[in-house]
Amino acid sequence: MSLIEIGSAELKALGAFPLSFDVEERVSGNAQYRLDIECRSASIDFDALLGKKMTRRNSERHGRYA
């Protein structure tokens, strides 16, 4: 099972966390990214997150799950 972890100081400070992450790559254009975030605060300014540094890490988990 492959897991994707996303880290961001801004998300952590807001108590927000990613729910899903999707990338669409194109041969003759820029990649498009979609990040679904959940946050307890209803007053979060998502536009303020644009252009901020985020990291993505893949990790592989092996084994059986019931």
pLDDT band at 63 (very low <50, low <70, confident <90, very high): low
Would you kindly state where each structural domain of the chain is located, as residue ranges? 2-56
Confidence (pTM): 0.53
pLDDT at res. 3? 66
Q: Which helix (H) or strand (E) holds 9?
A: helix 9-14
Model confidence pLDDT, tens digit, residues 1-43: 456 677 788 888 888 877 888 888 888 888 888 888 888 878 8
pLDDT at res. 1? 44
38's CB contacts (< 8 A; 6+ apart) are 16, 17, 18, 19
pLDDT at res. 54? 81
